[in-house]
Structure 1
Amino acid sequence: MISKDTFAAVQSLYDDVEDGYNQRIRRHVQQQMLAHLDDITRELEAIHTACGAKTVRLHDYIQVIEETCTAIHQLAERLNENFMLFVMGSGKNGKSTLINALLGQQAAAEDFLPKTWKIDVFHDADLDASCTLTFKDGSCRSMTAGEAQAYIEGEEQKRKDSERAIRQELREFKKKKVPLEVLEEKQRELRKYGLYQSQVIEASWPVGHSDILSHYRLVDTPGLRQELDDMIVASAEEYFSKADGVIWILPGDKIASAGDHTELRRLCEKYEKHPDNIIAVVNRMDIVRQNGQDPDDVLAEARRFYGDLFTEIVPISAREARQAEDMLHQDGISKTERQEAEALLERSNLPALLQLLNRTLFADALDIQIRSKLRGCRDLLDHIRQEAGQASLLLAEVSGQREAKIAAWNKDSSEILDRLKQDLETFQDQEAKRIHREAGRVEDELWDMETDYRNEYILEQIICPESLERRLHELVEAHSRQLMDLYRRHLQKAPFKEFPSLKEDEMTVCLNQQGVIGRANLSDDLSGQGSAQLALGGALAIGAAALLGPVGLIFAGLAATDIGKSVAKFLSRTFGSSMADKIQRRFEDQMADVRKKLEREYQDYIEKSGGSIDSLRESTYAELYGPSDQTQTVMEHLQKLDGLGRLQVIPLRVQDIIFSH
């Protein structure tokens, strides 16, 4: 027969071996969970290096990935801590009351509007122990319970104030009668830049003298499917990835209309079957009885709605459990009162829930905890892959948009330059034909005129420099308007905007406030001469009369005498060009110089416009997505992140433990 001492020694050895095995299992799983984080961090650093400064849109994805990496670290570290039992469900279903019932004391705040930005963790510790606030970046702060409560209340007030301000701004914005897509974009913009987002993600509270906390840490979550102006704030998946086990609380007084069904279905579709670490609790059975309903009928209805999602569904009255516990904790309670309190506690069905927890989750706690942690880690790594994939798709899309903007400008500016050149050529041809026609009509008279008079006549009666210059001026003014219309149109399309449907004065954070658009970028007159004077100042500065004056000098040597005039007329008509041809050619030669100067000014204007448009396009692109010349590099790093997000756990073998040091 084995002695007590021997039995105790064997039992102690067994416990030591079991503890050692459990510790090795935890370390092994932790190593597996953290295996890819260094590689992910390197890719993130490479993206930061490629982008330089913070990028508004790309940073949205990078920030989520960085926060997810932090969450994976926390998840791995918590394998060394007690089983995390989350209480989840839609808002105002009695989660806090149930937690207090499980704790056997008032710890979670009841009858408060559900918080939308943190979880509350209740752990076993002396009541005078410090509270711990955990932030999104993984940092923690310890403080007294009073200090922590005051800090959280301040954060909650900031959020409420921001929600109030958002609703007010949306009401004012709706008065503009904007299209629905503009209103929706304004909501998203206010959600991002107007809603106060606390950096606190978790508050850990010490709770003493609670039996359940020797095995679990209880977690109170925000109400699910909460909305701010039709925008979802919290969903089940966000919290499920952190939980080892879950008590899902359903409202017994309105089972059929419970919004939990959508969230639960989404979870089941994601995991292909119902998760093995969730227990359903139908709360408010006291209200069910008060309303004259049969509790068995309500439980049957709950099983009809949720039976394929939960193996166990437990009816409970958290309120009655709390009342019974308060009565039992009173000093000087009589035997009758104790019996009534015990009967009320039994009717609340809280003991049945505790027995179920011990029979299911606690009985196989380590195995469930490891599976839950690995599942949570896979979820978080999938989230990294999704964010990286979405960021890569976004970059591909906006890079294509950028190329399209460049191509559109090149096409439109080339086409308008060709069209304006054709206009100038047509103008020259029309004026040359007019001059030829007018000169031909009086050619005989021209040969008979004295040189000085003939030149003056050609200039004033045939060329008509004032009307010619006026028509050319009108043409160039029309060209100037076309060029500026082209510039304005492309300048308006040039910037990349986070919220494209919103105008600059409708945005909470506009491009001007970001320093992206300056006054120089928005100048209409890039030539510095004003719209009416574009190109005219340089092209016609010498005047049409001076340009065409030398026409008569061609014939000066042949027009000295009457005989000379006759000979010149004869030679011209017999062997050479007519007077009209010569005048036309001289005009065309002079106008060719004018056209070249105008075309050069048009080209200069387009180049300056293109430079301004390029500057605006590239600066706004870089502000949102990083420098355009680094887009391909960033996409390559994002694609590597996609490949790193697959968790494969290598089982720990017995020999690994035996032969390890």
Structure 2
Amino acid sequence: DTLSQMEEAELLVDAASRLSEPFLLVIVGEFNSGKSTFINALLGRKYLQEGVVPTTNEITLLSYSEVDSESIERCERHPDGQFTCYLSAPILKEMNLVDTPGTNVILQRQQRLTEEYVPRADLILFVLSSDRPLTESEVGFLQYVQQWKKKVVFVLNKLDLYRNSDELEEATAFIKENARKLLNTEDVTLFPVSSRSALEVKLSYSNNNDREHHGEVLLSDPRWRSSKFYDLEHYLLSFLDGSTDNGKERVRLKLETPIGILFLVQTAML
């Protein structure tokens, strides 16, 4: 109908205008997958609440603030209903993160995420829990987002729950096999990590002001190496470096966003 065509056209204009904006990383996962701990580990501080009750009830854009603070600097709701929190985490200088409710909540009532943020995402990070990877709601969400042909990177969280490397290999093979079918792709990227360990290590060095050698200090800590978080961070940061293959892919992903939306608009109009 005319209204949906207008909405799709607006989405296309919006996506085109975002080509010059920071990389948009949308983080999804079922409630209790450790998503908040993962985001805190990525940011390097306990900005988000963690716990056994769902802590994220709405979509939240995490954006950079100059003010150095141990907590979220400020949160505000924009006139269009967008909820944005400003933090001083350095990684946000390069990319905006979108924190989301659990996939079980998204499919029920969070149309905004699936209709606005998934189409605009440059990369979707899907956080899975080691004790129950690929639940029914996670599979449902992947089936839903597949129409947008987005690049999805899987994070297998709570790595320390596996007793040995055989258990880990069995789990990663299971996830990759199913993800290939769900996303209709041979190229499945999966990072097993322990977000809790990574966060603990980062917090223990958070007062170290030697930013230049911060990475070397972390690498010297066996807890950091065993958390395997470095591989994932390195992968994400390589998207921001235009000279790397991932950096070139970042440009392609950004360009594909308006192109993909245009394709869907054209298809809908036929």
- Report which of the two structures shows the higher radius of gyration computed on alpha carbons: 1
Q: Percent identity between the aligned chains?
A: 20
Equivalent-residue separation in structure 2 for 1:222 and 1:377 (angstroms)? 28
66 and 346 in structure 1: CA distance in 2 versus 1, 3 angstrom threshold: same
Amino acid at match of 1:364: E
SS at match of 2:49: coil
CA RMSD of aligned residues (A): 3.6
Q: CA-to-partner distance for each residue in 1:168-225, whole Å, 9 max, x for gaps?
A: xxxxxxxxxxxxxxxxxxxxxxxxxxxxxxxx2x222222242x32332121122223
CA distance in 2, matches of 1:339, 1:361: 24
Q: 1:92 is matched with which residue?
A: 32
> What's the counterpart of residue 298 of structure 1?
171
Shift of residue 84, structure 1, vs aligned partner: 0.4
Q: Which letter does structure 2 place at the counterpart of 1:120? A: T
Q: What is the deviation of 1:131?
A: 4.8
Alpha-carbon distance, 1:278 to partner: 1.7
Rate the CA distance shift 1:257–1:84 in 2: closer, same or farther, 3 A: closer
**Matched AA of 2:228:** N
The answer to whether the 8 A contact 1:361-1:368 is kept is no
Correspondence for 1:225: 104
| SS, match of residue 31 in structure 2 | coil
Note if contact 1:123-1:217 (Cα within 8 Å) is conserved in structure 2: yes
Q: What is the alpha-carbon distance in structure 1 between the residues aligned to residue 119 and residue 7 of structure 2?
A: 14
Unaligned runs of 5+ in 1: 1-39, 44-61, 137-199, 333-337, 386-642, 647-661
Question: Of residues 364, 367, 385 in structure 1, which corresponds to 2:249?
Answer: 364
Structure number with higher strand proportion: 2
User: Within 2, Cα distance between the matches of 1:302 and 1:127?
Assistant: 40
Q: Does 1:374 align with 2:259?
A: yes
Q: For residues 348 and 263 of structure 1, what CA distance do their matches in structure 2 show?
A: 27
Q: Are the aligned partners of 1:97 and 1:110 in contact in 2 as well (CA < 8 Å)?
A: yes
CA distance in 2: counterparts of 1:247 and 1:315, whole angstroms: 12
Whole-Å separation in 2 of the counterparts to 1:375 and 1:226: 26
The structural deviation recorded for 1:72 is 4.6
* CA gap 1:370/1:256 in 2 versus in 1, 3 angstroms: closer
Q: Distance in 2 between matches of 1:206 and 1:223?
A: 22
Give the letter for the 1:294 counterpart: E
Q: 2:143 aligns with which of 265, 269, 282?
A: 265
Matches for 1:16-415 after TM superposition, within 5 Å: 71-111=11-51, 113-116=54-57, 118-127=58-67, 131-136=75-80, 200=81, 202-210=82-90, 212-226=91-105, 232-234=108-110, 237-238=114-115, 239-255=117-133, 257=135, 259-268=137-146, 270=147, 275=149, 277-289=151-163, 294-308=167-181, 309=183, 310-330=187-207, 342-357=221-236, 358=238, 361-376=246-261, 378-379=263-264, 381=265
Aligned to 1:241, the other structure's residue is in SS state: helix
Distance 1:115 1:214, change over 3 A: closer
User: 1:25-70 CA deviation, whole Å, 9 max, x = no partner?
Assistant: xxxxxxxxxxxxxxx9xx7xxxxxxxxxxxxxxxxxx5x7776665
Are the structure 2 counterparts of residues 244 and 257 from structure 1 closer, same or farther at C-alpha, using a change threshold of 3 Å?
closer
Is this contact kept in 2: 1:121–1:203, CA < 8 A? yes
In structure 2, what is the Cα distance between the partners aligned to 1:115 and 1:319? 18
Q: 1:348 to 1:234 in 2, by over 3 A?
A: same
Query: Counterpart of 2:102 in structure 1: which amino acid?
Result: G
Structure with the higher fraction of residues in helix conformation: 1
Tell me the CA shift for residue 296 of structure 1. 2.5
State the shift of 1:345 in Å.
Answer: 1.6
Q: What whole-Å deviation, never above 9, does each CA across 1:298-331 have from its counterpart, x for those lacking one?
A: 2222223324445211111111111111112146
Q: TM-score, normalised by structure 2?
A: 0.74
Q: 1:339 to 1:259 in 2, by over 3 A?
A: same
Structure 2 residue identity aligned to 1:203 = F
CA shift for structure 1 position 132: 4.8
Distance 1:349 1:74, change over 3 A: same
Letter in 2 for 1:301: F
* 1:461-610 map, 5 Å: none
The aligned length equals 246
**Does the C-alpha gap of structure 1 residues 317 and 277 become closer, same or farther in structure 2, counting only changes over 3 Å?**
same
SS for the counterpart of 1:304 is helix
How far is 1:242 from its partner?
2.3
Amino acid at match of 2:84: S
